[in-house]
Amino acid sequence: MSRIGIRSGALPSESRDWRSPDGILEEILESGIELVLCPRPEVPLVTVTFLWEGGALLDAPDHSGQAQTTAELLVKGTKTDDAITLATRFEFWGADFETWAGRECLGITLSAPRRVFPQLWDLVQDVFESSRFSASELHKQQKRAIAAIRVAKDGDPRSLLPVYADSWIYGSRSPYGHPVGGDEATLGQLEPGALRRFWFQHLRDRRAVVSVAGDFDPDEIRTSLTRIFHSRKGHAPGGPDPVFPLEPPIGTRGLFIDRPGSTQSYFWMGGLGVDCRYPGRIGLELVQSVLGGQFNSLLNRRLRIEEGLTYGAHAGYTLPSFRGVSYLTSYAPMERTRRAMDATFDVLRRTREEGLLEADLKAGRLYLKGQEAFRYETTNQWSLRLALRRFHHLALADWAGYAGALDQVSSAQAGGILREVFPAPEDCFLVVIGDARLLLRDLSDLGEWSLESLSSPGFGPVRPQSVQTSRGLG
């Protein structure tokens, strides 16, 4: 992610039909921009979030990291300003300008005090239309990104487990499996002209969602967006569906990443889960919290408190527009790795067979209700949350009944969700980082393993992508 550190008017009558019970409005502009407005006159700030469909899913083959590098370079100067001058111009107005890329989108967030916000549109348009994408700035970014990967591999590699897991589950050449941030080899293949074309492909041709939260004039927002997106003509189709592997096209169960001399191991176990349209999303959040999402979760109780095998364990899931992954992960001293993995398997097996206790579900509900308020503290959070819900075609006002929906999740429903989303222990795919000489033999009875070196470029073996297709970007 790159970061550079208006009084509300009456809403026009023609927009009132779009108003939700929470005062949120939705509409589609003539340019095809899907606009979400969240007026909060009591907040003296305005935040605008832009999301373009595509992101790392559109990275060219062997050029992973293209989307993220494009986002990074957007704020590294324009035709008239170098990177420092551009940053100074935003800081002069007290504005934050952040860019990022995800698996499915390119994103930008602009936040500033309401009294100066109208002054920023020309600057935003300048960034959009004349970003420099200079070779020198690209070279700096490539060096920084490659250095960050090497630091992670040399230091604490826990953050790399999801990257290796995506590569292992989806395939390293799949649009869903290559690393969003690129790797040591692919980052060096990027060149400024291709990144510029990649950006304009998003700006002019891809589906776009814009959400605005805070104290603003809706008419001024519409006028400014119409001017900025003047080159767009109607709703952008979004392009063809990407390739999607319904199941890993391999017979090998585990990926072992060899780190000679390591005193700790890091493990991940999981498989394909569900997508963002899963009807039991709130119940899944509760299940994840009880299983491994809070300090007193079942995993932490077993691995940390009862057996003293680790300082922490976690269960999680992803909910993209395609089938995401569900997983359990932890780390342990090398000599206790097998015990920690067996204990994790046992927790997963028991919960799938016996379900979740009502006492644990009650504690999970209280925890999630207490955390919910922290999701809506700032205009940045409101704006991003609304943009993502619109992006994924989810009802914007669903959160209004969040607490009640949690209370409606029964023990039987929670058990069904767990069995549906989290794989059985014997069906889990495994990723382990550790010393193969000391550990791999101890894990041999868990299945066949593919051995890779942590020091090798990339994130696991290169496998051809599946020819199976699906709905893709939604």
Tell me: do 199 and 271 sit in the same domain.
no
How far apart, in Å, are the Cα atoms of 139 and each of 70, 72, 146, 187, 425? 12, 12, 11, 10, 44
Nearest to 34 by CA among 18, 22, 57: 18
Q: Is residue 243 situated within a structural domain?
A: no
pLDDT at residue 234, rounded to an integer: 64
Same-domain check for residues 207 and 326: no
102 and 185 inside one domain:
yes
- Indicate if the pLDDT at residue 333 is higher than 50: yes
Task: Assess whether pLDDT exceeds 80 at residue 238.
Answer: no
Which pLDDT tens digit goes with each residue over 440-451? 999 999 999 999
> 26 and 89 in one domain?
yes
pLDDT, tens digit, 9 for 90 and up, residues 414-430: 999 999 999 999 999 99
Q: Which sign does the torsion angle of CA 157, 162, 167, 173 carry?
A: negative
The angle that helices 411-421 and 337-354 make with each other, rounded to 10 degrees, is 130
Q: Is 238 left (phi over 0), alpha (psi -120 to 50) or beta?
A: left
Residue 177, exposed/middle/buried by CB under 10 A (0-12, 13-18, 19+)? buried
Q: How far apart are CA 330 and CA 267, in angstroms?
A: 6
Range of the domain at 417: 254-447
Q: pLDDT for 83-142, tens place per residue?
A: 999 999 999 999 999 999 999 999 999 999 999 999 999 999 999 999 999 999 999 999
Tell me which residue has tokens 């619109």: 390
How far apart CA 262 and CA 357 sit, in angstroms, is 38
44 and 78 part of one domain: yes
pLDDT of residue 251: 58
Sign of CA dihedral 243, 248, 249, 255: positive
Task: Report yes or no on 86 lying in a domain.
Answer: yes
Are 282 and 191 in contact by the 8 Å Cβ rule? The answer is no
Can you tell me the distance from the alpha carbon of 87 to that of 80, in angstroms, rounded to the nearest whole number? Answer: 13
Q: Are residues 24 and 166 in the same domain?
A: yes
Confidence of residue 463 (pLDDT cuts 50, 70, 90): low
Please tell me the distance from the alpha carbon of residue 66 to that of residue 62, in angstroms, as a whole number: 10
pLDDT at 466 exceeding the cut of 90: no
In a domain, 462, yes or no: no
Q: Determine what percent of the chain is predicted with pLDDT higher than 90.
A: 80
Cα(218)–Cα(215) distance, rounded to whole angstroms?
9
Q: Per-residue pLDDT averaged across 389-401, rounded?
A: 83
Q: Which pLDDT score is estimated for 396?
A: 75
- 273 & 355 share domain: yes
Question: Same domain, yes or no, for 381 and 434?
Answer: yes
Q: What is the pTM of this model?
A: 0.89
**Tens digits of residue pLDDT in 30-50:** 999 999 999 999 999 999 999
Please report the pLDDT score of residue 474 as a whole number: 28
The CATH number given to whatever domain includes residue 197 is: 3.30.830.10
Any domain includes 464 = no
CA–CA separation, 86 and 121 (whole Å)? 14
Confidence of residue 472 (pLDDT cuts 50, 70, 90): very low
End-to-end distance of the chain based on CA atoms, in angstroms?
25
Closest CA to 362 of 409, 399, 317, 328: 409
Q: Is the pLDDT of residue 470 over 50?
A: no
Residue 281 domain-assigned?
yes
- The reply to whether 237 falls in a domain is no
In a domain, 118, yes or no: yes
Residue with tokens 């890329």: 101
Q: Are residues 150 and 282 in the same domain?
A: no
425: which 2 tokens? 């222990």
Q: Range with the lowest mean pLDDT among 7-21, 220-234, 287-301? A: 7-21
Judge whether residue 465 has pLDDT over 70: no
Show the tokens assigned to 415: 């058990």
Dist CA 280 CA 286 (whole Å): 10
Average pLDDT score over residue span 393-407? 84
Identify the pLDDT of residue 19. Answer: 39
Does residue 182 contact residue 69 with C-beta atoms inside 8 Å? yes
Distance CA 383, CA 376 (A): 9
The candidate with the shortest Cα–Cα distance to 139, out of 107, 101, 187, is: 187
Q: Which of 173, 194, 228 is the last residue of a domain?
A: 228
Structure tokens belonging to residue 329: 């992960």
Asked if 391 and 272 sit in the same domain, the reply is yes
Report, as an integer, the average pLDDT of 5-31. Answer: 53
pLDDT class of 17 with cuts at 50, 70, 90 = very low
Q: How many domains does the chain have?
A: 2
Question: Residue 445's CB: how many other CB atoms inside 10 A?
Answer: 7
* pLDDT score of 235: 56
The answer to whether residue 238 sits within a structural domain is no
Taking residues 325-341, report their average pLDDT.
Answer: 97
| Percent of the chain clearing pLDDT 70 (strictly above) | 88
Shared domain for 189 and 297, answered yes or no, is no
Same domain? For 260 and 316 the reply is yes
One-letter-per-residue 3-state SS of the chain: CEEECCCCCCCCHHHHHHCCCCCCEEEECCCCCEEEEEECCCCCEEEEEEEEECHHHHCCCCCCCHHHHHHHHCCCCECCCCHHHHHHHHHHCCCEEEEEECCCEEEEEEEEECCCHHHHHHHHHHHHHHECCCHHHHHHHHHHHHHHHHHHHHCCHHHHHHHHHHHHHHCCCCCCCCCCCCCCCCHHHCCHHHHHHHHHHHHHHCCEEEEEEECCCHHHHHHHHHHHCCCCCCCCCCCCCCECCCCCCCCCCEEEEECCCCCEEEEEEEEECCCCCCCCHHHHHHHHHHHHHCCCCHHHHHHHHHCCCCCCEEEEECCCCCCCEEEEEEEEEHHHHHHHHHHHHHHHHHHHHHCCCHHHHHHHHHHHHHHHHHHHCCHHHHHHHHHHHHHCCCCCCHHHHHHHHHHHCCHHHHHHHHHHHCCCHHHCEEEEEECHHHHHHHHHHHCCEEEEECCCCCCCCCCCCCCCECCCCC
Q: Round the average pLDDT of the chain to a whole number and report it.
A: 88
Whole-angstrom Cα distance, residue 433 to residue 327?
Answer: 16
pLDDT over 50 (residue 57): yes
Residue 325: pLDDT over 90 = yes
